[in-house]
């Protein structure tokens, strides 16, 4: 439930349903082949949805949902089980816990945070995958992070229209449930 300005409670069910549908689409986009060039630069679409889910819509169970989405991506991509799950959980956790007023920032600030956090987490996970002996040496991090930051604005505008999050109050933050 999300608190409305007039004191009424607005159900978070439809928001969550819409975001879960968006998450499914983002997972399919992550595994779909969009051409060699795009595949190499493809951003983490699921991270966009999960960051929105956790830091803007402030819905519950964002860490657990990130874990499940990441494990699904691992299974679909044939990656070591847990690597994408860790990447998604870390991004959601960092933004939810370190930027508590994230949704009140201007859009460009939000995009900057999303891009930087994605870059840091991607490098960390690459380092982890490299330690496991499962990674190629030529991994590209900068362009996917920049693309993720660039996609934040259109994504945010589009999803705001669909789920209409209540930004007037802090409501039930994910980390505070």
Partner 1 sequence: MGKPERGKNYLIHIRFATAALLCLVIMAVDVRSKALNDFRYYLETALYPILAFADSPHKVTKYVSNHLKSSNELMAENERLSAENYIQRADILRLKSLETENEAMRRLLNSPVHRTSKRLFAEVVDVASDVYQRRVVINRGTGSGVYVGMPVISDSGLVGQVISVNYAFSRVLLLSDPNSAVPVVNDRNQIRAIASGDGSSDELLINNVPRSSDFKAGDLLVTSGLGGVFPEGYPVATVTSVGFNESQPFAFIKAKPIVDASKMRYVLLLWYQRSDYEEPDDKVIAKERTDGKVILRQNRIRDLIESMSKEQPHMSGDITTNGQDAAEAAGAPAQGQPGNGGAQ
* Chain residues in the site for partner 1 (CB under 8 A): 27-28, 30-34, 36, 39-40, 42, 63-64, 66-67, 70-72, 75-83, 85-86, 89-90, 93, 96-97, 126, 128-130, 132-140, 173-177
Task: Please give the backbone phi and psi of residue 163, each rounded to the nearest 5 degrees, phi first.
Answer: -105, -15
Nearest approach, Cβ of 65 to partner 1 (angstroms)? Answer: 10
Report how far residue 108's alpha carbon sits from residue 142's, in angstroms, rounded to the nearest whole number. 18
Question: Which residue number, 135 or 160, has a Cβ lying nearer to partner 1?
Answer: 135
Question: Which residue number, 55 or 159, has a Cβ lying nearer to partner 1?
Answer: 55
Torsion angle, alpha carbons of 119, 124, 130, 134, to 10: -70
Nearest approach, Cβ of 62 to partner 1 (angstroms)? Answer: 9
Report how far residue 102's alpha carbon sits from residue 55's, in angstroms, rounded to the nearest whole number. 6
Nearest approach, Cβ of 135 to partner 1 (angstroms)? Answer: 4
Question: Which residue number, 34 or 116, has a Cβ lying nearer to partner 1?
Answer: 34
Distances (CA, A) of 113 to 13, 19, 159, 173: 27, 21, 18, 18
With both helix axes pointing from N to C terminus, report the angle between 83-98 and 107-131 in degrees, rounded to the nearest 10: 140
Nearest approach, Cβ of 113 to partner 1 (angstroms)? Answer: 17
């Amino acid at each position: 439930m999300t608190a409305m300005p007039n004191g009424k409670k607005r159900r978070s069910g439809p928001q969550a349903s819409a975001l879960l549908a968006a998450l499914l689409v983002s997972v399919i986009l992550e595994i779909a082949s969009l051409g060699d060039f795009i595949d190499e630069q493809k951003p983490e679409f699921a991270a966009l949805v999960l960051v929105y889910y956790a830091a803007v819509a402030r819905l519950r169970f964002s860490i657990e949902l990130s874990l499940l989405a990441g494990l699904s991506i691992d299974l679909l991509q044939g990656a070591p089980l847990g690597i994408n799950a860790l990447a998604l959980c870390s991004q959601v956790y960092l933004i939810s816990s370190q930027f508590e007023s994230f949704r009140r920032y201007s859009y460009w600030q939000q995009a900057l945070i999303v891009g930087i956090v994605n870059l840091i987490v991607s490098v960390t996970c690459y380092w982890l995958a490299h330690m496991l002996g499962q990674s190629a040496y030529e991994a590209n991090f900068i362009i996917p992070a920049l693309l993720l930051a660039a996609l934040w604005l259109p994504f945010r505008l589009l999803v705001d229209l669909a789920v209409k999050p209540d930004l007037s109050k802090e409501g039930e933050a994910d980390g505070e449930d």
